[in-house]
Structures are given as structure tokens and as C-alpha cells.
């Protein structure tokens, strides 16, 4: 659902306050209220964030897996007034710390996050598959996951030769992530939210 009729600048978006707890993405200058996901949506995000944190604890360089807390601004031509809020964003700890005194949005002139995850709900399917993909691609985010409980599938887009190559996983297939090589999960485990 689009909320505003007049377009906002990115700066106006950062300052926008409507007195509610509603979270908004900015899409082509228009506020778009983020829908409340289903219970499985929340379970998947929490489960994956926990799994990423376990793997990240083994890495030499500290990173953070943050659930729905970091915005990602698009540099796509004509879409500079677009900022998405992925379900999970993985980024270096130093980059997370750099946002302590400012709005938690990764601008397109900053290094991109290492990985983003979107969990599909009925109201976000088109956005997650078609609108966000080119925005994340142009940012050169190395890995972009679409976890789709509706289609019972996980698609991992990997940046290869300046384009995303999709890799699909279903059922008992083991997920193969180039970023999280030691992650040992099946698509079914993720889609069940670890239950």
C-alpha cells in the first residue's frame, strides 16, 4: 500500500514521522507501508538470523546479521529516492557501528551489505522477486536470498559477472551459499522456520 501522494526526497523520508509505529520503505519517492508478515515469516527471519550469527561467530572479521533494522538505498537511475528494508542484512560490524549516530540506512556510496534476505508474503511477492532484485544487483550485493514459503522454495542470487545468477533449493536439498559455506541447512528446515 502506497501512503503518500506527493513524492518525498530521501532526506524527507529519513525525517518522516507520522506518530505511529508503522515502518515504511521509500519507493520512487513514495512511502510504502511494510505489511505485517505471517507467523511463518517471523519464524523464518528469526531462525535464519540465528543461523547466520552462529556462522559469523567463527569468522575472523566480525560481522552482524540484523533483522529488519537496516535500510538499503538504491542508486538505480530514477530510483535514487528508494530505500528498502530487507528482512535480514549481513554487514561488517564496523559498518554497523558507523550507523550508531545516524539513520540506519546504507547509502549507495557506501560498501554494500554482504548479504540480504527477503521473505515473501502474499503482498510482497512481486516486489521481492522483480522490483528489489535489480536494485540489489546494481548495488553489487554479493548474495541475495528470497525465501518463499508460498512456493516452498529458496532462491539464492549470487553476483557473477555483474549479474545475479539464481540457484533454487526445495525440500531436503541442502542450501549452498557461497558466503555461508559452513551453513548446513535444507530448504525445508528454513521454510519451517526451524520448527
- Mind listing the pLDDT tens digit for each residue in 100-146? 999 899 988 899 999 999 999 888 888 888 888 888 888 889 999 99
Summarised one tens digit per residue, pLDDT across range 86-103 is: 999 999 999 999 999 998
Within-domain flag for 63: yes
Report the C-alpha dihedral over residues 43, 45, 156, 120, rounded to 10 degrees: 70
Range of the domain at 156: 37-72+86-191
Report the C-alpha dihedral over residues 135, 138, 144, 150, rounded to 10 degrees: 30
Within-domain flag for 22: no
| Spatial CB neighbours of 22, under 8 Å, sequence gap ≥ 6 | 33, 34
Within-domain flag for 19: no
Within-domain flag for 78: no
Cross-strand bridge partners of residue 186? 174
The arithmetic mean of pLDDT across residues 24-46, rounded, is: 86
Question: What is the distance between the alpha carbons of residues 132 and 116, in angstroms, rounded to a whole number?
Answer: 11
Within-domain flag for 92: yes
CATH number at residue 119: 3.90.1570.10
According to the model, what pLDDT value does residue 1 have? Answer: 47
Number of domains in the chain: 1
Answer whether 73's CB lies under 8 Å from 79's CB: no
Amino acid at each position: 500500500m502506497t501512503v503518500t501522494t506527493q513524492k518525498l526526497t530521501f532526506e524527507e523520508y529519513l525525517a518522516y514521522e507520522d506518530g505511529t509505529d508503522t515502518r515504511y520503505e521509500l519507493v520512487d519517492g513514495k512511502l510504502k507501508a511494510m505489511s505485517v508478515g505471517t507467523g511463518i515469516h517471523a519464524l523464518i527471519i528469526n531462525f535464519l538470523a540465528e543461523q547466520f550469527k552462529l556462522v559469523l561467530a567463527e569468522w575472523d572479521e566480525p560481522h552482524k546479521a540484523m533483522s529488519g533494522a537496516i535500510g538499503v538505498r538504491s542508486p538505480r537511475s530514477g530510483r535514487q529516492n528508494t530505500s528498502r528494508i530487507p528482512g535480514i542484512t549481513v554487514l561488517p560490524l564496523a559498518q554497523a557501528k558507523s550507523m550508531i549516530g545516524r539513520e540506519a540506512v546504507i547509502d549507495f556510496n557506501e560498501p554494500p551489505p554482504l548479504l540480504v534476505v527477503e521473505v515473501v508474503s502474499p503482498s510482497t511477492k512481486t516486489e521481492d522477486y522483480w522490483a528489489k532484485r535489480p536494485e540489489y544487483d546494481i548495488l553489487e550485493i554479493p548474495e541475495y536470498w528470497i525465501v518463499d514459503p508460498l512456493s516452498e522454495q529458496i532462491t539464492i542470487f549470487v553476483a557473477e559477472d555483474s549479474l545475479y545468477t539464481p540457484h533454487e533449493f526445495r525440500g531436503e536439498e541442502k542450501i549452498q551459499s557461497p558466503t555461508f559455506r559452513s551453513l548446513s541447512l535444507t530448504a525445508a528446515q528454513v521454510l519451517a522456520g526451524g520448527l
